[in-house]
Amino acid sequence: MANAILFLYGSLKHGGENHRLVADQVYLGPAVTEPGYRVVSLGRYPGLVEDAANGLAVAGELWQVSRCCLLELDDFEGGEGEWVRRPVAVAGREGVEAYFYDGPVPEGAPSGAGWPLK
């Protein structure tokens, strides 16, 4: 497996509390998804979800990560069993993946186009 391109939207971004996990990887710059997603507040962390009906273009960062880093992130993000890595549509890019929230979205949870929510 070669290096992967990840769309980061929450605690792994610059300034996020888990950024240390990607700090030694290659930052490719800011990015925005195609409309069709939403960042949902899950309390301390956000979760990216698909929203075909009312989706937004979500802002985040693109990172090129090594295979080793990707495997560590998979363990970290998948540890609670509620985040899964899968393809995400990012404007102007192919082959990008993100960690999607795969658990139940709390009723009435605030959501928006970026984290922290504004």
User: Which residues are known to be catalytic?
Assistant: 77
Q: Collapsing DSSP states into helix, strand and coil, what is residue 81?
A: coil
CA distances from 81 to 46, 61, 66, 93 (A): 15, 23, 22, 28
**CB neighbour burial string for 104-118, b if at least 16 within 10 angstroms, e if fewer:** eeeeebebbbbbeee
Structure tokens at 116: 């922290």
Q: Which residues contact 2 (CB under 8 A, 6 or more apart)?
A: 67
